[in-house]
A and B are shown apart, each in its own frame.
Chain A
């Protein structure tokens, strides 16, 4: 026999191996060797399975692991597989030959879990899934209605002075969704004004009516586009932020903490957000209107050779005060929608990191969809009323 040292170093690099021999007429000896590391390919237990099934007299399995150089969990999973086989065939296992510590770990792993989890077998049919998701979407529609109703009640309650939120929060929120949004609102509305003027100028120049670029840009920006652009910007910027913020609070049980203290999250968190957006959206919209008109003016003066005063006078005469009010009304509605969708998705958020991501995504999607739908409704209404 070789010296143990050489055997050991040899075994270090050897993959795990298993050989089976018969020790007594009704017992098998499983000899394991090599380095049992999870990176190494494990031997197959098919041969053992075959012998266990074919030889009916077997009563016992024992192990020889003297040549095992090292072991980790891979040996344990291998042995668990073997013991499962033996259980099926009602063969007992003699664990005396196993390395130190292995029998102990196997017995811990084999201990019965404390509860029956009942989650293993869960295969639902297609119809069940459809039914369930229909039920879920009904429920979520009901939740949304409930949320809107509660928000409305809270809003009314505010005028009675019975609501609790910190005015400091409101100031901070007003800054976040007002002043902090100015740069992006400037950029977007200026560019929208420029684009409108460009596209319009090409058509109007055919009739020599370049001066009507002022009408086009002025009315479009002031009446709808200023409000819609700020609405979409705020849905992406602030709605997502609200959803992520409230969602994270939901994950950390902060909303529950408020609730048990008797402070309604609706009053404390949703109301100031709604207020901040209702107050700031019309202001941002007004600013966006100005920037849009400025964009049109830049194109008009530099490219179409319209005089500055001419453009100004044309704009003043084209845009009626009604247009301005309709635009501001749009933006106030959008403020409510963005705040509500953002807060709703945040409050509905599940308790995991990916749920927060979903909440933010769906806040933006719901926000933009509802802005578009609201614009359509208001436009039709204005048409019917003849404003």
Chain B
């Protein structure tokens, strides 16, 4: 593998709603082309941290750097440029319900490129085919299943060929086979497009299947208590909380 290069750097990040602190003093680095997992129990602030990374939730203190450029300190144009370099798949898909799948995926292309209609159509067909939804262009989000909506969300996130893809709970609400297919898709996209993947999840099976690196967020101390490859964490970590999570609460006796 090529030398690791930092893509996103998080420095002393603290996220809070008013005086209620969700997570404080986070420090981690996400390298180019790796699958990075943000994990932790329900309600520990995983999604809030992702919103902090994607610019939806301004941090109370701290910085987020994209390729050494501080996101929250840059001007609106610079922010726009950084934003165009990432795609986000939201927890429920968040597809625009009054548009067909083709329009959903095509909208960012219409807005940010000067492509003509037939080129956009081709690109849309390609993106939908990549997530296994070829032929569903004219369907509305309400006409397809939840798993398909999530995959359509991935297709939309990939519309502009972003360098970074964020996934918020990609496998939540999916059957094991569909969840597995989504995991495979994440790995295939990483390998072929060298996209950096940031995945928020608590699904153990997908964590072990796809992770290159991870942070573990703790809801009690409200900060990160472990980071590294989850398989290594399972083998080496001494922290009972981390082990408890990674062994589904079966404790330290089962290693």
Say whether A associates with B: yes
Q: Which residues of A contact B (CB under 8 A)?
A: 38-39, 42, 72-74, 76-77, 80-81, 100-102, 104-105, 108-111, 113-117, 119-120, 251, 350-355
Chain B residue at minimum C-beta to C-beta distance from A114 = B132
13 sample A-B contacts, Cβ–Cβ < 8 Å, listed by A number: A38-B109, A38-B113, A73-B123, A77-B119, A77-B125, A80-B122, A105-B188, A108-B130, A114-B132, A119-B135, A120-B135, A251-B97, A350-B142
Contact of A101 with B194 at beta-carbon distance under 8 Å, contacts A73-B123, A117-B139 already known: yes
Say yes or no: B122 contacts A77, CB within 8 Å: yes
B161 interfacial by beta-carbon distance below 8 Å: yes
* C-alpha spacing A215/B63, complex, angstroms: 73
Q: Min CB distance, A348 to chain B, in Å?
A: 15
B208 interfacial by beta-carbon distance below 8 Å: no
* C-alpha spacing A358/B120, complex, angstroms: 29
Chain B 182-209, CB-CB to A under 8 Å as 1, else 0, gives 0001001001111000000000000000
Residues of chain B within 8 A (CB-CB) of A77 are 119, 122-123, 125-126
Q: Min CB distance, B37 to chain A, in Å?
A: 22
Say yes or no: A100 contacts B138, CB within 8 Å: no
Residues of chain B within 8 A (CB-CB) of A114 are 132
Residues of chain B within 8 A (CB-CB) of A81 are 122
Question: Among the listed A38, A74, A104, A119, which residue makes an inter-chain contact with B191, where contact means beta carbons less than 8 Å apart?
Answer: A104
* C-alpha spacing A251/B109, complex, angstroms: 28
Say yes or no: B191 contacts A101, CB within 8 Å: yes
Say yes or no: A352 contacts B98, CB within 8 Å: yes
Chain B residue at minimum C-beta to C-beta distance from A109 = B129
Say yes or no: A101 contacts B126, CB within 8 Å: no
Say yes or no: A104 contacts B192, CB within 8 Å: yes
Residues of chain B within 8 A (CB-CB) of A101 are 191-194
* C-alpha spacing A247/B251, complex, angstroms: 48
B140 interfacial by beta-carbon distance below 8 Å: yes
Contact of A113 with B136 at beta-carbon distance under 8 Å, contacts A81-B122, A353-B96 already known: yes
* C-alpha spacing A119/B140, complex, angstroms: 11
Chain B 132-172, CB-CB to A under 8 Å as 1, else 0, gives 11111011111000000000000000001100000000000
Say yes or no: B129 contacts A355, CB within 8 Å: no
Say yes or no: B97 contacts A100, CB within 8 Å: no
When A and B form their complex, which 4 residue pairs have the shortest distance between CB atoms, in order from nearest? Answer: A101-B192, A354-B98, A352-B97, A72-B161
Contact of A113 with B133 at beta-carbon distance under 8 Å, contacts A101-B191, A104-B188, A351-B97 already known: yes
* C-alpha spacing A312/B119, complex, angstroms: 76
Known contacts A73-B161, A108-B129, A108-B185; 15 further A-B pairs (Cβ under 8 A): A38-B115, A38-B161, A73-B126, A76-B126, A101-B193, A104-B188, A105-B192, A108-B130, A109-B134, A110-B129, A117-B136, A117-B139, A119-B138, A351-B142, A352-B98
- How many residues of B are in contact with the other chain, CB < 8 A? 33
B114 interfacial by beta-carbon distance below 8 Å: yes
Q: Min CB distance, B151 to chain A, in Å?
A: 11
Say yes or no: B123 contacts A355, CB within 8 Å: no
B46 interfacial by beta-carbon distance below 8 Å: no
* C-alpha spacing A80/B124, complex, angstroms: 13
Residues of chain B within 8 A (CB-CB) of A352 are 97-98, 140-142
Question: Among the listed B98, B113, B135, which residue makes an inter-chain contact with A39, where contact means beta carbons less than 8 Å apart?
Answer: B113
Residues of chain B within 8 A (CB-CB) of A251 are 97
* C-alpha spacing A243/B160, complex, angstroms: 37
B127 interfacial by beta-carbon distance below 8 Å: yes
Chain B 89-116, CB-CB to A under 8 Å as 1, else 0, gives 0000000111000000000010001110
Question: Among the listed B119, B130, B136, B142, which residue makes an inter-chain contact with A105, where contact means beta carbons less than 8 Å apart?
Answer: B130
* C-alpha spacing A227/B136, complex, angstroms: 51
* C-alpha spacing A338/B161, complex, angstroms: 50
Chain A residue at minimum C-beta to C-beta distance from B142 = A351
Say yes or no: A39 contacts B114, CB within 8 Å: yes
Residues of chain B within 8 A (CB-CB) of A102 are 192
Chain A residue at minimum C-beta to C-beta distance from B193 = A101
Residues of chain B within 8 A (CB-CB) of A38 are 109, 113, 115, 119, 123, 160-161
* C-alpha spacing A160/B160, complex, angstroms: 62
* C-alpha spacing A234/B136, complex, angstroms: 43
Q: Min CB distance, B5 to chain A, in Å?
A: 17
Residues of chain B within 8 A (CB-CB) of A109 are 126, 129-130, 134
Question: Among the listed B97, B109, B132, which residue makes an inter-chain contact with A113, where contact means beta carbons less than 8 Å apart?
Answer: B132
Residues of chain A within 8 A (CB-CB) of B114 are 39
Q: Min CB distance, A346 to chain B, in Å?
A: 16
Residues of chain B within 8 A (CB-CB) of A39 are 113-114
* C-alpha spacing A350/B188, complex, angstroms: 37
Chain A residue at minimum C-beta to C-beta distance from B141 = A352
Chain B residue at minimum C-beta to C-beta distance from A101 = B192
Chain B residue at minimum C-beta to C-beta distance from A119 = B138
